[in-house]
Homo-oligomer: A and B are copies of this chain.
Amino acid sequence: MKSRDLTYRAFAPASIGNVGVGFDVLGLALEGVGDTVELTLNSGTREILIESIFTENKIPADPKQNTATAALLAMQKDLNLSYGFRVRIHKGIPLGSGMGGSAASAVAAVVAAAGIFRRLKSRVQNPIPMEQLFTYALEGERIAAGSAHPDNVAPSLYGGLTLSSSQFSTSLAKSVFHISIPSGIVCVLVHPDVQVETKQARKILRPEISLKSYVEQSSLLAGFVLGCMTSNFGLISASLRDQIIEPQREHLIPAFQDVKNAAMAIPGCLGFSISGSGPSVFALAKSRTAGQKIAQEIQKRFKIAGVTSTAYISRLPAPGARGFKGEK
């Protein structure tokens, strides 16, 4: 095998930013849906070239505007790599869906690159620390979202439910913590076929909130974390609510209140809110059976509103990104 043919592939899952209750700080990995990035070593040049992007949507083909290649460029620069990559991206996550697609592409790219380093036996530290991969992926995300919010990159890379905040450390890489989830919980995500721009969805938010709202919402976040850590379904259910952001964004989503009421009425539904900045919505459920009923009900309500949708049901906690050998 010549090193210029060295190919490695990685999958990174979709994720739910905010998880309703924790605006900008919580993230939850999904199961089975995500982006795959395949890299081939470009040993003769430092060029990072997108060879193909498989997706139903149009996404930028300029490497600097694509999160996968932007993350690779950040990595190449930081590690002073003498080589480049040929990049093939398989977008399993619809663009502008609120499912963390830009983060997943960036994460898959850096995890695939880490696989190449391993097989190259390169001078790069092997295996390259996850925290370092996290930093490069965040650089990719910065391009798409305008700022480096880790609430999708963290769960996509590490899996599970994550709490991340720039408040925890001056190093973003040390700012991510894992929250355990009671086994048996299922996540339902439904993507209605409309688009929401993250940057736009952020602009509509009021810059101030009342102290009262702050106290209420922060107690819900603390309750959700505590409920997850202690497997207290009652507390999870009481806490999984967004009183600050959801009311300001719900108009971006067709028939939102109708969909929400229908989902919450299903026995076993623990909570319902917007995934990231939407338009996808999600619910947590006590069981797969409840999750399936919730998914059906949500899709039915979207259909009544004239919107087609796609549903994803994930067991939790879902694993993070993983690499595969991929030489041809």
Which A residues are within 8 Å of any B CB, using their own CB? 22-26, 163-169, 177, 179, 205-223, 225-226, 229-230, 232, 235, 238-239, 241, 244
* Structural contact, A217 and B220, CB atoms closer than 8 A: no
Which residues in B have their C-beta under 8 angstroms from that of A239?
Answer: 167-168
Residues in B with CB closer than 8 Å to A22 are: 218-219, 222
Question: Residue on B with the closest CB to A227?
Answer: B177
Given contacts A163-B223, A209-B211, A244-B214, contact A229 B232 (CB under 8 A): no
With A163-B219, A214-B209, A218-B218 as contacts: A226 and B168 at CB distance below 8 Å: no
Best-buried of A164, A165, A210, A212 by chain B (most CB within 10 Å): A165
B238 engages A168 (CB within 8 Å): yes
A230 to chain B, nearest CB (A): 8
The smallest C-beta distance from A144 to any residue of chain B, in angstroms, reads 19
Residue from A22, A229, A239 whose CB has the most chain B CB atoms within 10 Å? A229
Most chain B Cβ neighbours within 10 Å, of A22, A24, A163, A177: A177
- Least distance between A294 CB and chain B CB atoms (Å): 23
Residues of chain B within 8 A of A225, CB atoms compared: 222, 225-226, 229
Distance between Cα atoms of A167 and B205 in the complex (Å): 23
CB within 8 A of A214: which of B165, B169, B217, B235?
Answer: B217
A215 touches B163 (CB 8 A): no
User: Would B223 and A177 count as touching, CB distance under 8 A?
Assistant: yes
- CA–CA, A244 to B220, complex, Å? 18
**Chain B residues with CB under 8 A of A222:** 22, 25-26, 163, 165, 221-222, 225
Residue of A215, A216, A221 with most partner-chain B CB within 10 A: A215
Contact between B211 and A207, CB atoms less than 8 A apart: yes
Measured between beta carbons, the chain B residues less than 8 angstroms from A167 are 216, 219-220, 223, 238-239, 241
- A278, B167: Cα distance in complex, Å: 25
Contacts of A23 in B (CB 8 A): 214-215, 218
Q: With A and B bound together, what is the CA distance between A187 and B177 in angstroms?
A: 25
A-B contact pairs, 19 of them (CB 8 A): A23-B214, A24-B215, A24-B219, A25-B219, A25-B222, A164-B219, A165-B219, A165-B220, A165-B222, A167-B238, A167-B239, A168-B219, A177-B226, A177-B230, A207-B212, A208-B211, A209-B210, A221-B222, A222-B222
